[in-house]
Amino acid sequence: MDIKESTMEDVQALSKMNQHLIEDEEEDVNLSLPYLEARMSDYLKSGYRAFFFLQDDKNVGYALCNTSQSPMYLRQFFINRDERRKGYGTEAFHLLLSHLDIQEIDIDVYSWNESGISFWKSLGFNKRRLSMVFKR
């Protein structure tokens, strides 16, 4: 597997994968693709870095990271649906850590995303805080 840093020209591809991530996480928001493109562009302009994970020159996923904070914050991590259960997620995560030469990383996972929680726990993540929301 290879890792390639994205550029502003990749905003559309990143946003489409982000849309799939939002669907898979069953987020409680419905965001349009144009909104996601504008948001992704803003992330990249504000210091976030995005990386594609390539297997045999085929894009199998991406990560969006805030590398300027310590510990680094992994905002989005996604492996394409048809590429899951092949070990790419684990390989991509370790490749990202190695590429960025980091030892510590923060993530957020929705409490209802059982497969996501299971994946991150399998990599050695531990619960540190509980975030809650109130809506009327």
The pLDDT tens digits for 65-77 are 999 999 999 999 9
Mean pLDDT of the chain: 94
In this prediction, residue 26 carries a pLDDT of 84
Q: Looking at the predicted structure, is the pLDDT value of residue 60 above 80?
A: yes
DSSP codes joined into one string, 17-72:
HHHHHHHHTT-S----HHHHHHHHHHHHHTT-EEEEEEETTEEEEEEEEETTSSSE
- CATH homologous superfamily, domain 2-122: Gcn5-related N-acetyltransferase (GNAT) (3.40.630.30)
Would you kindly state where each structural domain of the chain is located, as residue ranges? 2-122
Rg value, the chain, Cα:
15
The average pLDDT across 86-110 equals 95
Give me the percent of the chain exceeding a pLDDT of 90: 83
pLDDT of residue 45: 96
pLDDT for residue 27: 78
Average pLDDT over residues 122-126: 94
11-45, pLDDT tens digit by residue?
A: 999 999 999 999 998 877 888 999 999 999 999 99
Q: What angle do CA 6, 39, 16 make, to 5 degrees?
A: 60
SS3 of 112, please? coil
From 46, 15, 48, 45, select the one nearest 32 (Cα to Cα): 15
